[in-house]
């Protein structure tokens, strides 16, 4: 089962299901998993806590083998439901809740938003910026990420110019928040916001003449948001666990784009319209392949329990496009469930996303600071 939020004003990620369906079709064309056809169910968590919990209960009721590619902000509520039922959560893409990095039933492929936000002070320093501030939604996961950015900035020796909390809903004038950002004169600003506040802050900053290196994360800002921002996103640096779908020079992207196009979906062409957040699509696609590859070592039936046992032993699985996954290898202190912390940087250029070749991929695991809570 894919659990993701779709058509919510806070989050909408239809590409997760679309890409998971393609991966399932490819696996089935190759004989399925251990000879059994893969069926992908979908549940829309709609960025609402009750619906997120209902999705987890539906997964339990339908006795799914795994939840895959999950992306929602209420994992503190729904992951324990899956854990109690013994259902592995494969490829959960975290919004920053600590349970995502510590729960033994979670098997992430990458570090989610936290990995991107950890990498952003490093990238800011790499492009010559000496101070960084954060505009963060006033929700727990966003504030966890802001705390991490502050700690990393101090660790690598650049000034932290403060966190400005922005209400996630109900604001019509973002000027006071932009003024507050400007008051400490940051050279770079990271937005940890949902789409409407993100756009509101960019417009308000322009109106007061605030010029900084804007930074964001691929779950929040892509070509669709760049189009809505009417050029204000141009030059933004966007952290991503994967290269841009417009960068086929990377084997992972070449393989992904090829499989999607074989099923009638062109990721580069849809990045500004139907499926704007293709990094999450790549994660959902890889999650299906992760189940397939891990299951190959299982003797007997592939069940939730046997799949967990298999993943708890795997330290070097190679997924399509050369993506390496080690679910049994513990991550850095405080984040034991995540072994892969590689972050790429994408920029908006002429409204399109392109992977920045001048910024080396950052291993955010080298910089991440344990968080209490």
What is the pLDDT at residue 24?
98
Rounded to the nearest 5°, which phi and psi values hold at 237? -95, 125
Q: At a CB cut-off of 8 Å and minimum separation 6, what does 302 contact?
A: 33, 34, 36, 65, 295
Average pLDDT over residues 261-269: 96
Range 2-111+247-340: architecture per CATH: 3-Layer(aba) Sandwich (3.40)
Element (H, E) at 58: helix 49-61
How far is it, in rounded angstroms, from Cα 50 to Cα 8?
Answer: 14
Average pLDDT over residues 117-126: 96
Average pLDDT over residues 131-153: 92
Q: pLDDT category, 229, cuts 50, 70, 90?
A: confident
For the ranges 5-19, 116-130, 223-237, the one whose mean pLDDT is highest: 116-130
Judge contact between 134 and 149, C-beta under 8 A. Answer: yes
Q: pLDDT category, 297, cuts 50, 70, 90?
A: very high
Q: pLDDT category, 200, cuts 50, 70, 90?
A: very high
What is the pLDDT at residue 25?
98
For a pLDDT cut of 90, what percent of the chain falls above it?
Answer: 86
Sign of CA dihedral 52, 57, 62, 68: positive
- What is residue 156's three-state secondary structure? helix
pLDDT tens by residue, 47-103? 999 999 999 999 999 999 999 999 988 999 999 999 999 999 999 999 888 999 999
Rounded to the nearest 5°, which phi and psi values hold at 349? -130, 115
**114-240+345-366 — its CATH code?**
3.40.50.2300
Query: What is the Cβ-side half-sphere exposure of residue 75, based on CA atoms within 13 angstroms?
Result: 27
**Measured between alpha carbons, how far apart are the two ends of the chain, in Å?**
29
What is the pLDDT at residue 373?
57
Judge contact between 369 and 115, C-beta under 8 A. Answer: no
Residue 222 has pLDDT above 60, yes or no: yes
The two domains 2-111+247-340 and 114-240+345-366 share their CATH topology (first three levels equal): yes
Sign of CA dihedral 125, 161, 181, 97: positive
How far is it, in rounded angstroms, from Cα 67 to Cα 55?
Answer: 10
- Number of other CB atoms surrounding residue 183 within 10 Å: 12
Element (H, E) at 257: helix 251-262
- Residue extents of the structural domains in the chain: 2-111+247-340, 114-240+345-366
E-only strand ranges, the chain: 2-4, 42-44, 67-71, 89-90, 106-107, 131-137, 159-166, 188-192, 213-217, 237-240, 317-319, 323-325, 342-349, 352-355, 362-363
What is the pLDDT at residue 278?
95
Residue 174 has pLDDT above 80, yes or no: yes
Burial class (CB in 10 A: 0-12, 13-18, 19+), 155: middle
Average pLDDT over residues 317-339: 97
pLDDT tens by residue, 182-196? 998 999 999 999 888
- Number of other CB atoms surrounding residue 78 within 10 Å: 25
């Amino acid at each position: 089962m894919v659990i993701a939020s779709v058509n919510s004003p806070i989050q909408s990620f239809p590409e997760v299901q679309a890409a998971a369906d393609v991966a399932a079709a490819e696996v089935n064309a190759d004989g399925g998993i251990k000879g059994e056809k893969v069926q992908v169910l979908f549940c829309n968590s709609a960025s609402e806590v009750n619906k997120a919990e209902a999705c987890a209960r539906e997964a339990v009721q339908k006795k799914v083998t795994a939840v895959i590619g999950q992306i929602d902000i209420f994992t503190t509520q729904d992951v324990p439901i899956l854990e109690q039922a013994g259902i592995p959560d494969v490829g959960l893409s975290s919004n920053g809740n600590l349970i995502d990095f510590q729960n033994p039933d979670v098997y992430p492929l990458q570090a989610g938003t936290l990995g991107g936000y950890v990498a952003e002070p490093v990238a800011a320093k790499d492009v010559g910026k000496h101070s960084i501030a954060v505009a963060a939604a006033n929700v727990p996961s966003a504030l966890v990420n802001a705390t991490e950015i502050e700690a990393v900035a101090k660790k690598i020796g650049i000034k932290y110019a403060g966190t400005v909390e922005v209400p996630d809903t109900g604001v019509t004038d973002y000027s006071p928040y932009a003024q507050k950002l400007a008051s400490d004169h940051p050279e770079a600003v990271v937005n940890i916001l949902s789409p409407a506040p993100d756009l509101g802050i960019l417009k308000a900053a322009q109106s007061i003449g605030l010029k900084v290196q804007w930074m964001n994360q691929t779950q929040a800002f892509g070509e669709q948001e760049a189009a809505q921002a009417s050029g204000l996103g141009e030059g933004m640096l966007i952290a991503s666990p994967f290269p841009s779908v417009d960068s086929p020079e990377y084997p992972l992207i070449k393989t992904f784009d090829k499989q999607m196009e074989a099923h009638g979906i062109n990721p580069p062409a849809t990045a500004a319209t139907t499926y704007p957040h293709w990094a999450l699509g790549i994660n959902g696609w890889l999650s299906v392949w992760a189940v397939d590859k891990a299951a190959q070592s299982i003797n007997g039936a592939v069940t939730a329990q046997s799949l967990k046992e298999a993943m708890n032993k795997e330290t070097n699985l190679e997924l399509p496009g050369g993506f390496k996954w080690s679910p049994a290898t513990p991550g850095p202190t405080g984040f034991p469930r995540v072994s892969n912390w590689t972050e790429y940087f994408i920029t908006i250029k002429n409204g399109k996303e392109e992977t920045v070749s001048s910024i080396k991929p950052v291993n955010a695991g080298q910089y991440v600071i344990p968080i209490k809570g």
